[in-house]
Structure 1
Amino acid sequence: MDQRVATNSPGDIGNAAHGLSSDRAALPSGVVFCLLSMSSVQIGSALSADMIAAYGPFATSFLRLLFAALILMAVLRPPVRSYSRAQWKSAILLGITMAAMTVCFYAAIARIPLGLTVAIEFLGPLAVASFGLIGWRLVLPVAALVGVVLLCHNGESWTIDTTGLLLASGSGVGWGCYIVLMKKSGRLFPGLEGLAISLLIAAIACAPVGMLQVPNMMSPTVLSTMLGLAILVPLFPYALEMIALRRMPTAAFGILMSLEPAFGALSGFLILGQPMAPVQMLGTALVVAASAAVTISVKPEEA
């Protein structure tokens, strides 16, 4: 017998058992955080339609990112002077990615239905999930992809707004990069400090164009609305996603987010009155089934 095993103390065994228990608890809590994040994102996105139509995606993105960053900076007071070069590089890359993803997404939902936008955007996380899966679980992203395709059809025709489709695709690329960069930021920074810095950088990236419309938004009603939307998206969901990515593998996170098109379609239906055809309901069922299957199949030691 290995002497290192034979000489383990009861305390060592207890610590190991506690660690295993923590690992087992981490994945379910990560799933809950993801579900809360998706709900917040889609409700906030649906409620943003009027603001985007009135002031454009850049101004809407700029103020929301700025408010979210200022709130988090005020609460955390991150020690910015103590950060290493690697930390700043991570925060800058994540911030630029957040800015591009947010602007593309808001510009897309101004042109095509929310459910369709989210369905196309999901292709980014789907690609991330596909890289992390092996064996029979490779069937799961395929099933989710079929569901996404079905969500793109309204029962009669496909969308013909090329610009909207391209913007949604750009948001998808950004989302895929965001997942990888957010997980890295979670490793490099304590707590939510990396998120606070990244949100501020994202706001700065949107500022040159976004500031052009800001003078027209200086009313108490608009500013209070933007503050509320900033909490719904991006502050609350981004914080939850960073915590979730510390508790689960990137592949599981990526495919769990395949629920996002379903949340988007449902929010579009309930809040914006955008109908769901039977074929889209079938697509929703597929992505839900794929998400549930991959979450159940992930082993505790992979989380």
Structure 2
Amino acid sequence: MSDVTQHLSRPLAITILVSAACLFAANHVAARVAFDDGTGVLLAILTRGSIAFLMMVSLVIAQRHRLAIPPGKRRWQLMLGVMIAGQSLCLYSAVARIPVAVALLLVNTWPILYALLTWVLGGRRPTVRLTAIMVVILIGLIMVLDLGTWLSDPTAMGPDWLPGVVLAEAAALFFAVAIWVTENRLSRLPGAVRSVFTMMTVLALMATGGLLGILPGGLDLPQSQSGWVALASLAALYGTASTVLFVLVPRLNMTRNAPVMNLEPVASLLFGFVILGQVLAPVQLVGGAVVLGGIVWLSLMRKA
């Protein structure tokens, strides 16, 4: 059977990708609810990671893969796990400080960092078109971050604004490095096996950080029923979305349909407004549209 006949119909594939993007967005909104109720960031990552780990192990068993990393790939697999742990920690820490949509827009700039990283490590130099896209996205980010207001009166944006922005961009950098390692050093490793070991590393690092008290309050429990519900929800939402994507990616024709996943910040904006009451200024909304347009443009160009 050819690859074309194995693909799901485009309407169904897009529906699945839209659903996954909404599940990921809802996961971040649930995380913010949990953090506002006193839940520790490390606890949230451990809860989410445990569910995802169990689902990935089930996939490995179902697909009868051998749980082993070739000797020459072990350091790269460890590095991948460390990068995903850093990305998870920084992203959730950013979500706890700034509007969810702003955090996700910043994190979704990882393709720019990936292109620059690839160039620095001896890969292809960014083209004029790619440079133009980067400039467009950066202009949009300036609008999203409302830097004019922040520069004129930093207190107007709140004390956590700058740390939140830095953490979100750090998450983008961690993810860019993780993608580079995956595509350039671990591409031949079965995805399910790679995911299991990655999640094992994340869980081990988060548990160690919690036990050593590296992040004060990292393992704090929710203070009310709503916090517990949010904690359970973020784990279920993330685990479901990641597992569905992992199982169905070969049939979703990602070469053509991947840009649909950029709906996540838009969905987070809607969920953030309805559930959290987070509202962005008009200039930030316009900037968000510019950033998303640039990211979709970049995605389409990379797949060309």
So what's the TM-score if we normalise by structure 2? Answer: 0.72
Task: Report the identity percentage.
Answer: 20
1:201 equivalent in structure 2: 201
1:210 equivalent in structure 2: 210
CA contact (8 A) 1:144 1:258 kept: no
In 2, the alpha carbon distance for the partners of 1:100 and 1:281 equals 28
**Structure having greater relative contact order (Cα 8 Å, sep ≥ 6):** 2
**Which among 281, 294, 297 is matched to residue 277 of structure 1?**
281
Q: Please report how far the alpha carbon of residue 151 of structure 1 lies from its aligned counterpart in structure 2 after TM superposition.
A: 1.2
1:49 equivalent in structure 2: 32
CA contact (8 A) 1:124 1:176 kept: yes
Distance 1:265 1:155, change over 3 A: farther
Q: Encode CA deviations 1:270-289: one digit per residue, 9 max, x unaligned.
A: 33111021112211221232
Q: Please report how far the alpha carbon of residue 57 of structure 1 lies from its aligned counterpart in structure 2 after TM superposition.
A: 0.8
1:187 equivalent in structure 2: 187
1:38 equivalent in structure 2: 21
Q: Please report how far the alpha carbon of residue 156 of structure 1 lies from its aligned counterpart in structure 2 after TM superposition.
A: 4.9
CA contact (8 A) 1:186 1:242 kept: no
Q: How many residue pairs align between the two structures?
A: 280
Letter in 2 for 1:229: L
Distance 1:216 1:288, change over 3 A: closer
Q: Encode CA deviations 1:20-79: one digit per residue, 9 max, x unaligned.
A: x58999999998776554332221000112322322111111121122112221342375
Letter in 2 for 1:142: V
1:288 equivalent in structure 2: 292
CA contact (8 A) 1:123 1:172 kept: yes
Gaps of 5+ in 1: 1-14
CA contact (8 A) 1:97 1:178 kept: yes
Map residues 130-279 of structure 1 onto 2, 5 A cutoff.
133-153=126-146, 156-157=149-150, 159=157, 161=160, 162-184=162-184, 187-210=187-210, 216=221, 226-233=231-238, 236-237=241-242, 240=245, 260-279=264-283
Gaps of 5+ in 2: 152-156
Matched residue SS, 1:187: coil
1:119 equivalent in structure 2: 105
CA contact (8 A) 1:125 1:179 kept: no
Structure with higher Rg: it is 1
CA contact (8 A) 1:257 1:291 kept: no
**Which among 31, 43, 48 is matched to residue 64 of structure 1?**
48
Q: Please report how far the alpha carbon of residue 114 of structure 1 lies from its aligned counterpart in structure 2 after TM superposition.
A: 1.5
In 2, the alpha carbon distance for the partners of 1:65 and 1:239 equals 15
Q: Encode CA deviations 1:116-155: one digit per residue, 9 max, x unaligned.
A: 2223333433222465652434322322222222111299
CA contact (8 A) 1:185 1:194 kept: no
1:12 equivalent in structure 2: none
Distance 1:84 1:28, change over 3 A: farther
Q: Please report how far the alpha carbon of residue 180 of structure 1 lies from its aligned counterpart in structure 2 after TM superposition.
A: 2.0
CA contact (8 A) 2:210 2:219 kept: yes
Letter in 1 for 2:144: L
1:11 equivalent in structure 2: none
Matched residue SS, 2:39: helix
Distance 1:294 1:35, change over 3 A: farther
